[in-house]
Amino acid sequence: MKFVLLLILGIIIIQFVNGVQILVLHGGATWSGLGVNPYTTPNYLGQTVHKEKCSVECEYTSDKTLFDSSDAVMIEAQAFANFGYAYLKQKPELPQKQVNQYYINFGYEHDGYFPIFSEPGFHNHIDVNATFQQNYSAVPVTFACNWGSYDKGGIEEFKTTPIIPTAHKIQHIGFMASNCHGGGAIYRTSYLKDMMKQIRIDAMGMCLHNFDLAPEDNEHHLFDDLGDSFRIKRKVLGKYMFSISFENNNKTDYVTEKVFTSLLSGSVPIYMGADNIDEWVPKGSIIKTSDFKSPTDLVNHLKYLISNHTAYEEYFQWKTEPFPEKFIEKHNKCLFYNGDCRICEYIHKRVTEYNNSAPAGHRLLFGEPENVKGQKRLIILPQDTSCLIILQNDTIPAISGYFTILMWLEPIELEFDSKLLSIGDDQVIISIHSEWSRDYIRYCWGTSGEQCFLSEIPIIPGQWKHIGIVAQPGDIPGTEVITFYTNGNFDSSYKTVAKPDIASTGVKLGCDTHGYRGKVDDLTIFNHALTQKEVNQAMFKKFRGDEPGLLHYLTFNDWEPIDYSKYRSKVEYRDIITSDTGNQKLDLNCC
């Protein structure tokens, strides 16, 4: 935070200028120019973008050591997940979100390429979308600008770029694409093949190649100088009456640069892709495959336009009219011009709102203190008799039958039955139970174990699992439903005929002749039931400590176990070790 003193008309105004720092966690956002001004990356963008000054100080970094001080962490699903389904096998690491820190899902690719993009288990941890999906994004971004085509941006260029007179244009269709198969492109390829049987299409890219570029347009490989490649594409397509602008998939709002390059070139785009493309381009400026029953019907229309230049020229009528509101709006959201600033402004708003609304006391009276929040530690219970006790305290609310217990655990080696955690005077016992040489979480209640339930997904020595045990009221008064969650996913659920008679705040971890041996992290106890989404989110976020019903919150990030809930219950322990840990993994496949 900086204090800036401004002297205006003799009045001293003290202005608080708060910067926003965004850590780009996976991959690089530089392809998009985020945080770079002026953005001059000819090899990719092909233009120099001088961005306007942002209303908040806005810093992007890829320095992961700044994780804890960053206001937001940006994850690009594309880089985060690797191509396709790789994230199911190579589970990505996800650090725990700090209090008042936000996770941004950034990207311009769809779930046909990157299935993680539509995974609820991924989105559970996301606070802000900055993607092509306009209605789902707090900060929507577009490619609706002259991306790569000119050295400076400007919406007027859509009208003012000269176009070759119809009579001098090549009387058929130009096409340039390199991807013939990926992300759904196989459908557009098949459609094109049908068209090519009936009309001439000059395919100058790698896909369906049948026509060579002139030598002066073919000096380098497409990706060697993408900016130049865009210029060539615009120039070459501009010679044709029509150009193919087929997205690789028909996803709502998935409108890439293709149709804009075509519009700028001065040929009429034949468009396949987003069902709502009309919201993205000037009215009457394109021909849509979806308006035709078949490739044949489309080709017949094109042949008609080739024979009737008056009808063809109607596709340029829009250049004489004001731009539609919606097109202007999309142009103003072009990622390359202001995406970074708009993301910062939005995060600044969220952080400020939170700062103004959150009750005081965080990090002083409760919550992880400043010197601990950056640490990543856990505890190890190395022996059967290792023991941690959160002391009973009659002045704080009791666990009275309905509750949620959350923790990460990684057993070292499992005994036949090892006691993991108990509430009160053993009224509730959670243990790890062996059955057919596999180990499961077992929940029992009643001092002599009247009722016991087993989780279905096994616990495996040497593997981190996040477990959640939720007890909530059943349909019949006085009964309850016990639900197990593993890695944030539903595991199994049981109905009880009564509810345990407990009214206690004391909790023991281990503390038995056959106690649990292994690692434990983030022990969190609420005295009410959390939803599955809340259990899932708890895996990768930190609590303030004063959330309603949060009774105990031990992150183990200090050298001594401390309860960071607002109750700050006293903790006693013996024979436990504090140790460093890495980030937990996002396991969308579950277990």
Ligand X SMILES: *[C@@H]1O[C@H](CO)[C@@H](O)[C@H](O)[C@H]1NC(C)=O
Cβ-proximal residues to 136 (8 Å cutoff; 6+ apart), any chain: 129
Which residue stretch of 21-29, 146-154, 391-399, 573-581 sits at the interface with ligand X (rule: CB under 6 A)?
A: 391-399
Q: State which residue, 352 or 371, has the beta carbon closest to ligand X.
A: 352
Contact call for residue 66 and ligand X (CB under 6 A): no
Q: State which residue, 149 or 527, has the beta carbon closest to ligand X.
A: 527
Angle at 474 between CA 470 and CA 478, to 5 degrees: 110
**Least Å from the CB of residue 38 to ligand X:** 26
Three-state secondary-structure class, residue 311:
helix
User: Which DSSP string do the residues of 188-201 spell out, in sequence order?
Assistant: HHHHHHHHHTTS-E
Residue 357, beta-bridge partner list: none
Contact call for residue 562 and ligand X (CB under 6 A): no
Contact call for residue 290 and ligand X (CB under 6 A): yes
Contact 109, 78 (CB under 8 A): yes
Three-state secondary-structure class, residue 95:
coil
Contact call for residue 554 and ligand X (CB under 6 A): no
H or E element at residue 329: helix 325-331
Contact call for residue 184 and ligand X (CB under 6 A): yes
Contacting ligand X within 255-274 (CB under 6 A): 272
Contact call for residue 69 and ligand X (CB under 6 A): no
Q: What is the phi/psi pair of residue 259, to 5°?
A: -65, -30
Contact call for residue 353 and ligand X (CB under 6 A): no
Contact call for residue 276 and ligand X (CB under 6 A): yes
Q: What is the CA radius of gyration of the chain?
A: 30
H or E element at residue 417: strand 417-423
Sheet strands side by side (includes 387-390): 451-454, 438-445, 428-435, 417-423, 507-510, 387-390, 571-574
Contact call for residue 250 and ligand X (CB under 6 A): yes
Contact call for residue 61 and ligand X (CB under 6 A): no
Contact call for residue 57 and ligand X (CB under 6 A): no
**Least Å from the CB of residue 438 to ligand X:** 35
Which residue stretch of 217-225, 389-397, 418-426, 529-537 sits at the interface with ligand X (rule: CB under 6 A)?
A: 389-397
Contact call for residue 179 and ligand X (CB under 6 A): no
Contact call for residue 352 and ligand X (CB under 6 A): yes
Contacting ligand X within 132-151 (CB under 6 A): 133, 135-136
Contact call for residue 396 and ligand X (CB under 6 A): yes
**Least Å from the CB of residue 138 to ligand X:** 6
User: How many residues are listed for the chain in this entry?
Assistant: 591
**Least Å from the CB of residue 183 to ligand X:** 9
Contact 350, 545 (CB under 8 A): no
Three-state secondary-structure class, residue 278:
helix
**Least Å from the CB of residue 20 to ligand X:** 7
What spatial distance separates the first Cα and last Cα of the chain, rounded to whole Å? 43
Contact call for residue 289 and ligand X (CB under 6 A): yes
Contacting ligand X within 308-337 (CB under 6 A): 308, 310-311, 314
Contact call for residue 249 and ligand X (CB under 6 A): yes
**Least Å from the CB of residue 117 to ligand X:** 6
Q: State which residue, 159 or 568, has the beta carbon closest to ligand X.
A: 568
**Least Å from the CB of residue 1 to ligand X:** 4
Query: What's the rounded Cα separation, in Å, for the pair 331 and 48?
Result: 17
Q: Given the structure tokens 């060579």, which residue do they identify?
A: 212
H or E element at residue 29: none
Q: Which of 129, 262, 418, 455 lies at the binding interface for ligand X (CB under 6 A)? A: 129
Contacting ligand X within 403-442 (CB under 6 A): none
Q: State which residue, 218 or 290, has the beta carbon closest to ligand X.
A: 290
Query: What's the rounded Cα separation, in Å, for the pair 105 and 125?
Result: 9
Q: Which of 175, 443, 567, 573 lies at the binding interface for ligand X (CB under 6 A)? A: 567
Q: Which of 210, 355, 479, 589 lies at the binding interface for ligand X (CB under 6 A)? A: 355
Contact call for residue 541 and ligand X (CB under 6 A): no
Where would I find the beta strands (DSSP E) of 365-416?
A: 377-381, 387-390, 403-411
Contact call for residue 4 and ligand X (CB under 6 A): no
Which residue stretch of 76-84, 406-414, 514-522, 564-572 sits at the interface with ligand X (rule: CB under 6 A)?
A: 564-572
Contact call for residue 348 and ligand X (CB under 6 A): yes
**How many residues form the binding site for ligand X (CB under 6 A)?**
35
Query: From the DSSP assignment, how many helices (H) and strands (E) are in the chain?
Result: 13, 29
Q: State which residue, 264 or 351, has the beta carbon closest to ligand X.
A: 351
Contact call for residue 211 and ligand X (CB under 6 A): no
**Least Å from the CB of residue 559 to ligand X:** 21
**Least Å from the CB of residue 451 to ligand X:** 31
The one-letter code for the residue type at 120 is: P
- The first and second tokens of residue 493, run together, are 């659920």
Query: What's the rounded Cα separation, in Å, for the pair 584 and 540?
Result: 8
Sheet strands side by side (includes 102-107): 58-61, 20-24, 72-76, 102-107, 128-131
Query: What's the rounded Cα separation, in Å, for the pair 13 and 7?
Result: 7
Contact call for residue 527 and ligand X (CB under 6 A): no
Contact 117, 107 (CB under 8 A): yes
Q: State which residue, 352 or 583, has the beta carbon closest to ligand X.
A: 352
Contact 110, 78 (CB under 8 A): no
Query: What's the rounded Cα separation, in Å, for the pair 195 and 184?
Result: 18
Contact residues: ligand X, CB under 6 A: 1, 18, 118, 123, 126-127, 129, 133, 135-136, 184, 187, 191, 249-250, 252, 272, 276, 289-290, 308, 310-311, 314, 348, 351-352, 355, 391, 393, 395-396, 567-568, 570
